[in-house]
């Protein structure tokens, strides 16, 4: 008889398991082939990006650990506040700052993160391999609803976005990385992620619609794509949204 691993999943990792394993959060896994704990856990539907710690008996182990005997393994989720700028046993490779790369399946989340001032790249032309590579090369946290993408070995830091609602997704990400108080609404271009610069009204007057020209006096411009921003209704809407998420706007 091959040995059996008694794998116990903790916290929100249980919700990611197949429904038959979900309630107990426990899987009896038969070791009938040689595989890393990463491969074993991912075969149970949980991307490695969601895991904070793995222990075998009393010992912390890495994702590359290959179990050869039966026994108990505990798998713990990443939980707020997550700080990917500090090394851990599972992720010795850190990022310089909290910056994101958003998959196309969370496109609206990407726009909301930019509205909140978070550095959020997108790359609609890239396939999964390209996205994983870009995230790793640029030290960005990959945000996606695609588990297979996040299972890729090249992905270091990532988050499987749980909610399907963009506003809830924003709350989810801001809470996970403890970004409360770090939001800077409307400091970044929604179209291309570049930091905005103030611009004199006179310099852009020819580009403004009559009502905007009449009622607004303070403008910003994106130095990359030249899009113009002013304090319109969508901006007030965003400030209200951030306020409901418990974030204060210290920027204006």
Comparison of 114 and 157: residue with beta carbon closer to Zn ion: 114
**Window 199-228: residues binding Zn ion (CB under 5 A):** 222, 224-225
Q: Which stretch binds Zn ion (CB under 5 A): 40-48, 95-103, 188-196, 237-245?
A: 188-196
Please, what is the minimum distance in Å from the beta carbon of residue 177 to Zn ion?
A: 24
In order, the DSSP letters of 59-84 are: EE--TT----S-EEEEEEE--SSP-T
**Window 28-47: residues binding Zn ion (CB under 5 A):** none
Q: Which stretch binds Zn ion (CB under 5 A): 16-24, 37-45, 111-119, 192-200?
A: 192-200
Interface with Zn ion includes 192 (CB under 5 A)?
yes
Round to whole Å and give the CA distance between 220 and 230.
6
Range list of β-strands (E), the chain: 4-9, 26-30, 51-56, 59-60, 71-77, 100-102, 120-122, 141-144, 158-160, 197-199, 219-221, 228-230
User: What is the number of H-type helices and E-type strands within the chain?
Assistant: 9, 12
Binder of Zn ion out of 191, 218, 237, 251 (CB under 5 A): 191
Interface with Zn ion includes 121 (CB under 5 A)?
no
Q: 191-207: b or e for each residue (b if 16 or more CB lie within 10 Å)?
A: eebbebeebeeeebeee
Interface with Zn ion includes 190 (CB under 5 A)?
no
Please, what is the minimum distance in Å from the beta carbon of residue 122 to Zn ion?
A: 12
Interface with Zn ion includes 189 (CB under 5 A)?
yes
Please, what is the minimum distance in Å from the beta carbon of residue 107 to Zn ion?
A: 16
Round to whole Å and give the CA distance between 208 and 185.
22
Interface with Zn ion includes 195 (CB under 5 A)?
no
**Contact criterion met (CB below 8 Å) for 102 and 110:** yes
Length reported for the chain: 252
Q: What is the largest CA-CA distance in the chain?
A: 81
Comparison of 73 and 189: residue with beta carbon closer to Zn ion: 189
Comparison of 55 and 194: residue with beta carbon closer to Zn ion: 194
Comparison of 150 and 222: residue with beta carbon closer to Zn ion: 222
Please, what is the minimum distance in Å from the beta carbon of residue 230 to Zn ion?
A: 15
Round to whole Å and give the CA distance between 58 and 51.
17
Round to whole Å and give the CA distance between 112 and 122.
13
Comparison of 102 and 222: residue with beta carbon closer to Zn ion: 222
Comparison of 4 and 192: residue with beta carbon closer to Zn ion: 192
By CB under 5 A, the count of residues binding Zn ion is 7
Residues that bind Zn ion in the complex, under the rule CB under 5 A: 189, 191-192, 194, 222, 224-225
């Amino acid at each position: 008889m091959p040995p059996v691993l008694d794998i116990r999943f903790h916290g929100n990792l249980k919700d990611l398991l197949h429904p038959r394993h979900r309630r107990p959060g426990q899987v009896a896994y038969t070791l009938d082939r040689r595989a890393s704990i990463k491969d074993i856990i991912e075969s149970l539907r949980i991307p490695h990006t969601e895991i904070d710690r793995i222990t075998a008996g009393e010992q912390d182990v890495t994702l590359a650990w290959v179990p050869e005997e039966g026994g108990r393994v505990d798998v713990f989720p990443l939980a707020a506040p997550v700080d990917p700028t500090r090394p851990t046993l599972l992720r010795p490779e850190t990022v310089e700052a909290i910056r994101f790369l958003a998959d196309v399946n969370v496109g609206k989340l990407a726009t909301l993160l930019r509205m909140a001032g978070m550095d959020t790249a997108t790359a609609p032309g890239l396939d999964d391999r390209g996205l994983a590579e870009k995230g790793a090369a640029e030290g960005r946290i990959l945000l996606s609803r695609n588990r297979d993408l996040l299972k890729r070995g090249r992905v270091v830091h990532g988050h499987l976005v749980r909610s399907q609602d963009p506003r809830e997704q924003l709350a989810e990400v801001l809470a996970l990385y403890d970004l409360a108080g770090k939001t800077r609404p409307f400091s970044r271009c929604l179209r291309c992620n570049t930091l905005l610069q103030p611009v004199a009204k006179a310099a852009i007057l020819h580009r403004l619609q009559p009502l905007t020209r009449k009622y607004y006096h303070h403008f910003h411009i994106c130095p990359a794509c030249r899009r113009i921003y002013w304090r319109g209704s969508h901006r007030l809407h965003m400030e209200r949204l951030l306020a409901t998420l418990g974030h204060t706007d210290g920027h204006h």
